[in-house]
């Protein structure tokens, strides 16, 4: 999601993905054994509008690919996303709210109406960050048509929305709810993999 992504080799991306399979302590509470009530689940996660995640993100587009460490703090409609390269390629911070977004990196500080616009202008990657706000919790983005498919316990396993296909490959209990820890987001020849290492209560240190 950054200009430095272009300088990280595809081999680095594959190594990163292979090394991220073990993400959470074995002491994590088990998932529910009975199907969740989807309406109550959506309501509960919609009300969960303050959270903090740490993990990694990998991107592959054609023959190009890269990865970065991800630190995302969300407080209602305000976001603060830090992306840093594992190979010392720099740090980029994207922050803002519904009124606009700001990107800060080694080249300076830039503003735009949306984080997607900033990301595309400074990295070339077209990633729907505004939708990812919902997808990261295993929910469809509510403002566009979606086609979800569910697993045996009533959580979304795949989702088609706005030209994207999402695969939710791993749920674990965190913050009192089953939340995704691995998501693949695919559109044409672009594939984004998000690996969440920690769901952290808002304002709590990891």
Render pLDDT for 110-151 as a digit per residue (tens, 0 to 9): 999 999 999 889 887 788 999 999 999 999 999 999 999 999
Q: Which residues of 130-149 are buried (b: 16+ CB within 10 A; e: fewer)?
A: ebbbbbbbbbbbeeeebebe
Among the listed residues 85, 105, 107, 86, the one whose alpha carbon sits nearest the alpha carbon of residue 94: 105
CA distances from 96 to 72, 92, 100, 152, 184 (A): 12, 14, 6, 37, 25
Residue 30's pLDDT band, with cuts at 50, 70 and 90, is: low
Which one, of 170, 163, 168, lies nearest residue 190 by Cα?
Answer: 163
In this prediction, residue 16 has a pLDDT band, given cuts at 50, 70 and 90, of very low
d(CA 47, CA 35): 20
pLDDT band of 55, cuts 50, 70, 90? very high
Q: Binning pLDDT at 50, 70 and 90, where does residue 205 land?
A: low
> What pLDDT, on a 0 to 100 scale, did the predictor assign at position 122?
86
User: Is 185 in contact with 194 (CB distance < 8 Å)?
Assistant: yes
Tokens of 94: 């994207």
Residues 168-177 have pLDDT tens digits of: 999 999 999 9
Confidence at residue 123, expressed as pLDDT on a 0 to 100 scale: 80
Q: In what order do the strands lie in the sheet with 64-75?
A: 108-112, 100-105, 91-97, 78-84, 64-75, 50-61, 190-200, 177-187, 164-174, 156-161, 146-150
Least confident of 4-8, 37-41, 121-125, 139-143: 4-8
From the CB of residue 164, how many other CB atoms can be counted at a distance below 10 Å? 20
Report the share of the chain in percent with pLDDT over 90.
Answer: 65
Report pLDDT digits (tens) over 97-106: 999 999 999 8
| Assigned token pair, 27 | 């002491």
Query: What are phi and psi for residue 47, nearest 5 degrees?
Result: -75, -20
On average, the pLDDT of the chain sits at 84
Tell me yes or no: is domain 3-15+41-200 CATH 2.60.120.10.
no
Mean pLDDT along residues 151-159: 95
> What is the pLDDT at residue 6?
44
pLDDT at position 2 is 40
Residue 206 has pLDDT above 90, yes or no: no
Q: Count of CB atoms within 10 A of residue 181's CB?
A: 23
Q: What is the pTM of this model?
A: 0.81
In degrees, to the nearest 5, what angle opens at C-alpha 92 toward C-alphas 85 and 97?
135
| Whole-number Å distance between alpha carbons of 16 and 32 | 30
């Amino acid at each position: 999601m950054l200009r430095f992504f272009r300088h990280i080799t595809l081999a680095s991306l594959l190594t990163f993905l292979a090394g991220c399979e073990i993400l959470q302590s074995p002491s994590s509470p088990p998932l529910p054994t009975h199907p969740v009530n989807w309406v109550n689940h959506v309501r509960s996660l919609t009300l969960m509008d303050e959270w903090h995640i740490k993990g990694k993100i990998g991107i592959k587009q054609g023959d190009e690919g890269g990865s970065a460490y991800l630190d995302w703090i969300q407080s209602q409609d305000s976001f603060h996303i830090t992306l840093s390269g594992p190979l010392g390629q720099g740090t980029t911070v994207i922050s803002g709210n519904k009124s606009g977004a700001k990107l800060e990196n080694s080249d300076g500080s830039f503003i735009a109406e949306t984080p997607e616009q900033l990301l595309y202008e400074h990295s070339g990657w077209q990633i729907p960050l505004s939708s990812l706000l919902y997808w990261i919790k295993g929910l469809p983005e509510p403002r566009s048509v979606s086609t979800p498919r569910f697993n045996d316990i009533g959580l979304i396993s795949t989702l088609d929305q706005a030209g994207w296909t999402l695969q939710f490959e791993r749920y674990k209990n965190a913050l009192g709810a089953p939340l995704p820890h691995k998501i693949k987001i695919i559109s044409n020849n672009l594939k984004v993999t998000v690996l969440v290492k920690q769901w952290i209560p808002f304002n709590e240190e990891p």
